[in-house]
Structure 1
Amino acid sequence: MSSTSVVRPSYAAVLRIPYARRTFAAALLGRLSYGIVPLSVMLAVTRASGSYAVAGVVMALFSGTSVFLSPARAALIDRHGPRRALVPMVAAYTALLGLLTVTVWRPGVASPLVLGAVTAAAGACTPPLGPTMRAVWGRIADDRALVQRAYSLDAVAEELLFVSGPLLVGVVVGFAPPALGIVVGAALIAAGTAAFVASPPVRDLTPGGVRARVRGKGRRRVLRGIGRPVIAAAGVGLALGSVELLVVAFAEGRGHGSDSVAWVLAAMSAGSAVGGLANGAVVWRTSAGLRLPLLVAGLGLALLGAALAPGLGTLASAMAVAGLFVAPAITTAYLIADETAAPEARVQAGAWVNTAVNAGATAGTAAAGLLVGGLSTGWCFAVTGAVTLLAAVAAARGATRDGGAPEEETVGKVGDGGAARAA
């Protein structure tokens, strides 16, 4: 390992890792489907059923099985390797999306029960390309600083995918039924996964003797240490889920249109992208365990500031500041999960963090809906900020117990483990 990569690894250095560009591009191609399929399914089911209520229930089933079964799907990858686990998942997922496309192509044909069953089954088979790609980054990067930079690049790219995906759906529905968007999403994840598992770093990720080790250690020992990043990620997710609804309520309460909401949320996304890139560029002297609660606390304080915003312009500024902490906090949570979990459970650890973010977002949206009915938006932002600070306190207590050596002291550990790491 060169001293240059330890002191100041660049994003270019990440992409110069052998096979990194090929593997990352394939993963991003497949993950673009995540930004296309949900909106396409919602629009297609709404058109087919003629009911927003049916569409809401169907999407809840799709999201629920996708999010909460993510650790179980990741466990299959840790146990059997990406090629043996991802390929059957993608085959089942694309087949179910194809069946759903046929079901919703003609309005008024399918029953709500059939729509719910097919979408729930499709969600249960969603391939965890994101956690798998992060496990690959941890294996192919040769020091901790380079892994940090790779995770930051991954987080920013994923943010852009979730922005561009709905835009592509808008283009599709401009000239075709929304069911075509489901087809496009299925084709993207099939093509991306095929290229991903054919890449040498992924092809070399074989389970080896993992199964015996996992059975011997037990689930708790294999996933020991991920509670802190999971709690922090859930706090960030809760903040994100609340903010989306609170911004809508804030804008409508002051007579602004939906275009204003889009600009405020875009300011937060832009802040997140900037924060993510900056986080990866800094050579940190403190451990990820000590940084994580500070980043979550920064998000909470920014939301407390948003509670004082008198107008949409100041709210957009507050959201941009809040966004600065989002991607760094999530990236740091992934780093801690990857570093503390057993080598044979890296994908599972990342999936648990991802599940925590999504579950927190779902809970945050529901809680914000209840709060908006009885409190002003200012107080709602204050409550959201206070809960986020509580998550930061919980993460800080874990960091205090763990101690947390400076990050340079952990450089080089990422490469340890050899074949076990490849599982």
Structure 2
Amino acid sequence: MPQKATVPGTPDARPDDAPGTRPDGTSDARPGYGQLLRTRGAWTFLLPGFAARQPFAMLTISIVLLVQHTSGSYGTAGAVSATTGVSMALFAPYGGKLADRFGQRAVLLPGVLVHSAAGLALTALALSGAPTWTLFLAAVPTGASTPQVGPMVRARWGVRLQGSPLMQTAAAFESVTDEFTFVLGPLFATALCTGVNPAAGLITEAALTLVGGLLFAAQKGTQPTPTAGSGAGHARVEHVSALRVPGVRVLIVTFLGIGSVFGGMQVSLAAYTEAIGEPGLNGVLYGTFAAGNMLSGIVCGAIAWKIAPQRRLLVGYTALALTASGLWAAQSVLLLAGLGLLVGVCIAPALITGYTLVETIVPASSRTEAFTWLTGAVALGQAVAVTVAGQLEDRFWDGAGFLVPMGGTVLALAVMYLLRSRLVPPSSGRTVARGVDHRVPVAVD
């Protein structure tokens, strides 16, 4: 009997690994988290993946607290931390491209070693009172080698769930996981730096990156098939850079706007609470914003959407731009908390839908690279927003930094509306099998 066709460059027969999913990609049950987590092989990469991505959320605050302690300057600490973020944003996509071509393991193994060594070198330089320029020098490889475990996990979901409606649920699950790590990571790092030693946060980050990264890299069976050096019996897959996909460029702008919200909120909330004499409220207000993001992501992933993702992204991003545009006018803590909650609620659907679109507009051979471009865009947008918002707070009125989330999201929304046709998946012919043991798809007109 003829066997069903498979997609070149990916392991065999993934869609039916998801319970409740028919071979044609439709579902006989509402996609949910329980169904998602019963996907065969999922836990083999989820647990080590969570351990490996947790340090990423600890890096920035650990550097700030260490360098501020040793230099006495928040300005120097912020600049060193921003250098790490920019380096990560610029180099991460190339790591994703190499992971697509040669395999995630081939990139992770040297990456975690370099990152851990660079992080420890930065720690030693700061503690020894080395010149400031050496801290910036060490910050570059620390950021550039940051393992992009989140995008790699998303790419593995794409392999396991190809053609399944559970991809939307997986995107939501990953968004919630990211948000959870960014709530837990800074708290853990702050506790270590203030309760144990100023260097404890960065040292722990380096150690967790090494151990978690090696454990994740060991899960070879769930990683996407590399596009370079395909062996006998596999169709040769030509690697195409994700940047050549027009929709990816539109999504990069979209995610830059989301990064401007994160960066602008961090600086502006801290400045606002300090100005009213209640600096302790900063954590409460940012926690409210993060809680809205997490709850919205959970709900978004539990819904069986009937609306096309392109339309969902436009509608959701419009809501994000509108809510972010009201932050600068908030004149009370309660109003700011309410608006922050709404902004958080609007962010998760935009992130989830953007990652979901990657599955439809980017070839499987380039998806890890595409995910890292989007992750890097958020980091770059955040780094720029922190800098601009800080300048606005210093030079103008308290709360002027809230103009950054408004400007970033409105500009990104305008670009998205003008180029929305690029987010539509390319049409393709129907794929059929050629016969027994033939796995090369053929397009039928």
Structure 2 length-normalised TM: 0.82
Q: Deviations over 1:272-312 (max 9, x none)?
A: 00111111111111221111121111111112333443310
Correspondence for 2:308: 287
Q: 1:304 to 1:419 in 2, by over 3 A?
A: farther
Match of 1:196, SS?
helix
Q: Deviations over 1:158-206 (max 9, x none)?
A: 1111111121123323443222222211221122122212224435633
Asked if 1 retains the 8 angstrom alpha-carbon contact of 2:115 and 2:142, the reply is yes
Asked if 1 retains the 8 angstrom alpha-carbon contact of 2:83 and 2:136, the reply is yes
Q: 1:75 to 1:194 in 2, by over 3 A?
A: same
Higher helix proportion, which one?
1
Deviates more, 1:287-296 or 1:5-14: 5-14
Distance 1:8 1:387 in 2: 36
How do residues 11-160 of structure 1 correspond to structure 2 at under 5 angstroms? 11-104=33-126, 106-108=127-129, 110-160=130-180
Distance 1:19 1:402 in 2: 31
The answer on 1:353 being equivalent to 2:358 is: no
Asked if 2 retains the 8 angstrom alpha-carbon contact of 1:294 and 1:392, the reply is no
Q: 1:115 to 1:385 in 2, by over 3 A?
A: closer
Q: 1:382 to 1:60 in 2, by over 3 A?
A: closer
Q: 1:210 to 1:239 in 2, by over 3 A?
A: farther
Q: Which amino acid aligns with 2:304?
A: V
Match of 1:225, SS?
helix
Q: 1:139 to 1:303 in 2, by over 3 A?
A: same
Identity %: 27
Q: Which amino acid aligns with 1:250?
A: Y
Distance 1:218 1:128 in 2: 17
Q: Which amino acid aligns with 1:129?
A: V
1:368 Cα offset (Å): 2.5
Asked if 2 retains the 8 angstrom alpha-carbon contact of 1:225 and 1:340, the reply is yes
Distance 2:176 2:440 in 1: 30
Q: Which amino acid aligns with 2:167?
A: V
Give the aligned CA root-mean-square deviation in angstroms. 3.0
Match of 2:305, SS?
coil
How do residues 13-412 of structure 1 correspond to structure 2 at under 5 angstroms? 13-104=35-126, 106-108=127-129, 110-203=130-223, 205-209=225-229, 213-214=237-238, 221=244, 223-253=245-275, 255-372=276-393, 376=397, 381=402, 384-385=405-406, 387-400=408-421
1:115 Cα offset (Å): 2.3
1:265 Cα offset (Å): 1.1
Q: Which amino acid aligns with 1:168?
A: F
The answer for unaligned runs of 5 or more in structure 1 is 413-417
The answer for unaligned runs of 5 or more in structure 2 is 1-15, 432-438
Asked if 2 retains the 8 angstrom alpha-carbon contact of 1:307 and 1:381, the reply is yes
Q: Which amino acid aligns with 1:117?
A: L
Q: Which amino acid aligns with 2:150?
A: G
Q: Paired residues, what number?
A: 406
Asked if 2 retains the 8 angstrom alpha-carbon contact of 1:74 and 1:348, the reply is yes
Distance 1:419 1:317 in 2: 54
